[in-house]
Amino acid sequence: MHILIVDDETLARARLHTLLADVAACTGGPTHLVSEAADAQQAMALLQAPGPRPVELVLLDIHMPGQDGLTLARALRRLPLPPAVVFVTAHAGHAVEAFDLDAADYLTKPVRRERLQQALAKAARSAPLQQGVEREAGPVLLIQDRGASMRLPLSEVLYLKAEQKYVTVRTVSRSYIFDGALAELEARHAERLLRVHRNALVARDALRSLERHDDPAEGEGWALRLHGVPELLAVSRRQLPQVRAAMRDQGQPR
């Protein structure tokens, strides 16, 4: 993730930089690309400058010389691809206004590593970062792959399956790990994604056939076969009517 720290205090920026490295080391996650700005003017210059990797999260102080953090947050919302915002401030009294600006989180100084880790997780689930941005080419998912961020078009996704703490995203060529929630994706993209199980969504246009299948965990039941992948996906009894209806609408065997 590309993170921009905006704070007029050099020591405060340095501490956040160190905490971000600590979070990555403790969680075993990728090292973040971190940029810094001492005020709102520098921040906007960095955000609008061309580059290979856009800023995805701003850690933003509120009380700064010149334009304050709340005013900058309003300006960020007008950008074509607005980053997520987490306020980091010594003043707790602006929390209500901050969340009115759709801030992912609000941290008070001194920031603890555990609290920053929680804020990063919230920011990663926010719409501009992980749920995709509607473009002419359609919605995308932001995937963290081998320490870098990539935008995966939702049109390439065949299914998403929740497994332990993460979601596996399957395309024709490979699988990815996605740090998000199936319920949020289902709500945002119901026209593209169909719930087939409590832990699985499939692409409606990938439906191929519905087959009898014995599952060791659930016993006799049904499973879906999708175009492009060999594995079968279990269909829960609760979702079976919706799956049959979706296949009937597409003229597929059921």
pLDDT of residue 126: 64
C-alpha span between 223 and 214 (Å, rounded): 9
C-alpha span between 203 and 178 (Å, rounded): 16
| Phi, psi for residue 20 in degrees, rounded to 5 | -65, -40
> pLDDT in tens for each of the 254 residues of the chain?
899 999 999 999 999 999 999 988 887 766 788 999 999 999 999 988 876 678 899 999 999 999 999 999 999 988 877 899 999 998 878 888 877 788 888 999 999 999 999 888 888 876 444 444 444 346 778 787 666 667 788 899 999 999 877 899 999 989 998 888 898 889 888 999 999 999 999 999 999 999 988 766 655 789 999 998 999 999 999 999 999 999 888 766 55
pLDDT of residue 132: 43
C-alpha span between 155 and 146 (Å, rounded): 22
pLDDT of residue 138: 64
- Please give the domain boundaries of the chain with CATH numbers for all domains: 2-130 (3.40.50.2300), 134-249 (2.40.50.1020)
Q: Write out the DSSP string of 99-168.
A: HHTT-SEEEESSPPHHHHHHHHHHHHTSIIIII----TT--EEEEEETTEEEEEEGGG--EEEEETTEEE
C-alpha span between 159 and 195 (Å, rounded): 10
